[in-house]
Structures are given as structure tokens and as C-alpha cells.
Amino acid sequence: QVQLQESGPGLVKTSETLSLTCTVSDYSISSGYYWSWIRQSPGKGLEWIATINYRGTTYYNPSLKSRVAISVDTAKNRFSVKLTSVTAGDTAIYYCARYLGNGFYFDFWGQGTLVTVSS
């Protein structure tokens, strides 16, 4: 059973950069599949942020693309996301998940981590 665990600051100041890491257990990222970040906010519901594969090929939500960067560290079996110039609208629960590109679905998710953006 693949396990994913999000980690990072729970509070980020307005205009700064939000950085989160997802550590994967019981599966080697280098073995394949894609890896994604998704967030859930009260105002916008669930929103796909970005996806990356083990080779580093990236895919971004067009509405966030200018502020987001996703990366993968196969040596540490984890992947990360950075979101720049955050505002209160970026306050959300952030989830990481494994994504199956051939069927376009997320088969394993982390429990999520709440990030609050405040001045």
C-alpha cells in the first residue's frame, strides 16, 4: 500500500513562498507513475495544482502556472511544490497524490496539510 505524507509550514506570510514536500513510502518514485499536488479551499473547492513524473516532466494548472513549481527528488523518494506570491486565497488543505496517467485518476492520497496564509 503506497503511503504519502505531506510536510511543511502551516503558516505562510502574504506575498511569500509556500513550500511543501510529499514523502512517499512503500513505493519507489523511480519505478514510475506520476505525482501530483491538489488543494482544497473553502472558496474554490478542490483544485489540481501540478503533476510531475519520475523523469521530471511537469504539468501545471494553467491558472496557477505562473506561480507554481513542482520538483522531484528520487534519491529521497519525495516530491515538492512551491507557490510564490501567496495571498489569503491560497489558504487551503494541500494534498499530495499518486496519479495514473493512463487512466487520469489519483489512486493514493496523503491526509493533507493545512496551510494558512496571513500577514
In the structure grid, which three cell numbers stand for residue 78, read together?
519525495
Based on CB atoms, which residue is closest to another protein, 4 or 117? 4
Is residue 22 a contact point for another protein (CB under 8 A)?
no
Sign of CA dihedral 21, 24, 30, 36: negative
CB of 54 to another protein, least distance (A): 19
φ, ψ dihedrals at 16, nearest 5°: -90, -175
φ, ψ dihedrals at 88, nearest 5°: -60, -25
CA distance 107 to 100: 7
CA distance 83 to 24: 21
| Residue 88 · residue 32 · CB < 8 Å | no
Q: Which of 38, 81, 83, 117 binds another protein (CB under 8 A)?
A: 38
Is residue 106 a contact point for another protein (CB under 8 A)?
yes
Is residue 104 a contact point for another protein (CB under 8 A)?
yes
**Going residue by residue from 40 to 79, which x/- string records binding to another protein, judged by CB under 8 A?**
----xxxxx----------x-xxx----------------
Based on CB atoms, which residue is closest to another protein, 13 or 46? 46
Question: Which residues form the interface with another protein (CB under 8 A)?
Answer: 4, 38, 44-48, 59, 61-63, 95, 97, 100, 103-112
